Chain A
């Protein structure tokens, strides 16, 4: 499902293909990916990864990107945590916001300020990977990773 409130423009299949390709190029933990058909009006990219936080064996990203560069990257684990990087009009938060783990309900400003699909995807991958390597989901929305 789409979590995008506001006037987002149509979902962008070509952008989602780019997101998928970047995950595949950058992330050896990707096990499955599923992007529907080009004309599907409820298009979503699903990407499964072979490692989760804490006891969770795996996780999944559900991703939507629109022609106006609005997006959500929703991370979820079966019986585990949820978090989400969003950009869309939102009355209760800045346009670029983050839904915090463990349940992706509370909204705070996002650490991701860049806007283009090629750059946002790389930033999301870094944020998630840094937190995963430290096994601490509270670090996902963190701008810096000092030594």
Chain B
């Protein structure tokens, strides 16, 4: 809670960063940044975004690499880091298992397929990329369909993965 609602600041951006640093640990910030990093990125860039020093960031990234949360890519210019996508998908599946029963997942998968089919038919294209090419920059409804399609497509694959995990668990149990 904010103890003093009439807060003074010179720059709201800096004030927000100061709060973030005060309310989190360095390690928490590094983890937050790297788990949203999907492109190979140098440790210096992660350090900048996490407001952390480079040595601490390298230590933490190496630890997160060892436990499989982070992927380390050795390049000519030094190591690059990104989130481990397989681990990300696994974590999403675990969350889906907490929030949905198997029947609900199957039902939701059908709804997602229907959503995709409706948008595809409405615009007469086969993919979000194709839709993006033909949309006018001002076409609000069209872009909303585009975002919905991208989201439905991702969720569809995660739902399928979660259903497969339910099936696999029955076999290994």
Contact = CB atoms under 8 A, between A and B. Distances in A.
Given A4-B143, A118-B20, A133 B13 contact: no
A5 B145 CA distance: 10
Given A3-B140, A41-B112, A144 B9 contact: yes
A5 B99 contact: no
Interface string A89-103: 111000000000000
Interface stretch (B53-61, B68-76, B146-154, B165-173): B146-154
Nearest to B11: A143
Nearest to A1: B144
Interface of B: 1-2, 5-13, 15-17, 19-20, 24, 32-33, 36, 38, 49, 95-96, 99-100, 108, 112, 115, 132, 137-140, 143-144, 146-155, 158-159
A43 B20 contact: no
Contacts of B152: 41
A78 interface: no
Interface in A28-68: 28, 37-43, 66-67
Contact of B144 (A4, A123, A144): A4
B15 A126 contact: yes
Contact of A10 (B33, B99, B138, B151): B151
Given A26-B1, A126-B7, A9 B150 contact: yes
23 contacts: A1-B144, A2-B147, A5-B138, A6-B137, A7-B146, A8-B147, A9-B150, A10-B147, A25-B1, A38-B95, A38-B155, A39-B96, A41-B149, A41-B152, A43-B151, A111-B12, A122-B20, A123-B12, A123-B15, A126-B9, A129-B2, A143-B11, A146-B8
Given A126-B7, A145-B9, 4 more contacts: A10-B155, A25-B1, A129-B7, A142-B12
Interface residues of A, number: 51
A146 B49 CA distance: 27
B148 A42 contact: yes
B46 to A, nearest CB: 12
User: Is the contact region of chain A dominated by helix, strand, or loop, or is it mixed?
Assistant: loop
Given A122-B16, A145-B9, A37 B99 contact: yes
A38 B16 contact: no
